[in-house]
Amino acid sequence: MTAHNPARRPSDTPGLGIGIGIDDLPIRDELRGKTPYGAPQLDVPVQLNTNENPYPLPEPLVARIAERVAEAARGLNRYPDRDAVELRTELARYLTRTGGYEVGLGNVWAANGSNEVLQQLLQTFGGPGRTAIGFEPSYSMHALIARGTGTGWISGPRNDDFTIDVDAARRAITTHAPDVVFITSPNNPTGTAVEAETVLALYEAAQEVKPSIVVVDEAYVEFSHRPSLLPLLDGRPHLVVSRTMSKAFGAAGLRLGYLAAHPAVVDAVQLVRLPYHLSAVTQATALAALEHTDTLLGYVEQLKAERDRLVAELRELGYEVTDSDANFVQFGRFDGPGGAQAAWRKILDRGVLVRDNGVPGRLRVTAGTPQENDAFLDAVRQLKKEQSA
């Protein structure tokens, strides 16, 4: 599901051009007819459609955030640390501790959500006359950010089980010679992880054609059964690993993303960053969250167990379920009348909101609390009964 298309929505402000919509403006041709990214925001009892961490931040962390923000507030008359040195240092420590590979301050960059990190990468290494490739279905913001930066987008192939077809992907890279290659692991919306050997094969293929940046999007890696691909950075200066604090850290409202890469890449993205792009409040909040890493990763372990329960119980009900290394599960198939959209509506009618990502015959559900997951499973049990009747 995507957000409502406002292209023909007239202005309702007197004197500002009543009847004028987006298509009446001189926008770029590649933006015409497009809809903004977004999931339905509906007021229902159980919302499992945006891959949010369902656990509120623990009270000790909330108190620590208040302390750090209060301290930062005393200096809000000054610009924040432009280079976010303390935050990047702590992010590097977190990656070194959990990622199996030592990185330092010079290897890490941070921005307002991983989407801004990806945007800065495309502003630096993509742009007009350049192209990026991703293997779809995958995170749709890769293509949207490419379009927004004037970067040409190439949709690469996947296998029927949603893994990357390595041979076909290599051929696509050789044929199109992209400037940026996106590999999402675990993949959104399918939940599938990518083997290290696949990343290496695509990285080598990209470098054989021309020097290209390969971005491994690890937004959900803390939920994976497999280790991070961070160690692949060793000896590969054109490889980038992007992360976020939105999921595992339960801080979707913070908007803090970061990357790890060769120091030259970190230097390069600073050519396009906006001045003082990370506020002092954002930096203070993120630093407080990093102080409580162990507690927050404990919630991740609970969500991994719930994710695995959803996979097992959905399969017991006879649904086709994609193996998941993320905090969500793709399931189906809904090939009857109305397909996935009709199934989505029937689940919603029972007070549970899941995501129709446009993958034919399939829906995606975020792992929630045990109670939320029980409500979801009850809804799909009823759906299965109706389909079998």
pLDDT score at 20: 80
Would you give per-residue pLDDT tens digits along the chain (389 residues)? 344 444 444 445 555 556 788 888 898 888 888 888 777 788 999 999 999 999 999 999 999 999 999 999 999 999 999 999 999 999 999 999 999 999 999 999 999 999 999 999 999 999 999 999 999 999 999 999 999 999 999 999 999 999 999 999 999 999 999 999 999 999 999 999 999 999 999 999 999 999 999 999 999 999 999 999 999 999 999 999 999 999 999 999 999 999 999 999 999 999 999 999 999 999 999 999 999 999 999 999 999 999 999 999 999 999 999 999 999 999 999 987 789 999 999 999 999 999 998 899 999 999 999 999 999 999 999 999 888 76
Return the closest-CA partner of residue 53 out of 287, 301, 291.
301
Q: What is the dihedral of CA 84, 86, 88, 93, to 10 degrees?
A: 180
330 and 321 Cβ atoms separated by less than 8 Å: yes
Q: Which residues of 151-164 are buried (b: 16+ CB within 10 A; e: fewer)?
A: bbbbebebeeebbb
Q: Which residues, 6 or more positions from 220, have their beta carbon under 8 angstroms from its beta carbon?
A: 51, 186, 188, 191, 247, 248, 325, 326, 327, 328
* Cα 145 → chain centroid: 12
d(CA 11, CA 24): 12
pLDDT score at 24: 86
d(CA 295, CA 58): 8
pLDDT score at 10: 47
Where are any strands of DSSP class E within the chain? Answer: 46-47, 108-111, 131-135, 152-156, 180-184, 213-217, 239-244, 257-261, 320-321, 328-332, 352-353, 362-366
- Pinpoint the residues of the chain covered by CATH 3.90.1150.10: 37-57+295-388
Return the CATH fold of 74-291. Aspartate Aminotransferase; domain 2 (3.40.640)
Q: How wide is the angle at C-alpha 219 spanned by C-alphas 104 and 372, nearest 5°? A: 135
Q: Which residues, 6 or more positions from 41, have their beta carbon under 8 angstroms from its beta carbon?
A: none
225 and 186 Cβ atoms separated by less than 8 Å: no
Q: And the tokens for 171? A: 């051929």
Q: What pairing do the DSSP bridges indicate for beta strands 257-261 and 328-332?
A: unpaired
Strand-pair partners of 214: 181, 239
d(CA 97, CA 5): 44
d(CA 356, CA 1): 5
Return the closest-CA partner of residue 142 out of 172, 122, 124.
122
What superfamily in CATH does domain 37-57+295-388 come from?
Answer: Aspartate Aminotransferase, domain 1 (3.90.1150.10)
d(CA 97, CA 45): 38
The total of other beta-carbon atoms located within 10 Å of residue 320's CB is 13
DSSP 292-333: THHHHHHHHHHHHHHHHHHHHHHHHTT-EE---SSSEEEEE-
**Residues composing the chain:** 389
- Pinpoint the residues of the chain covered by CATH 3.40.640.10: 74-291
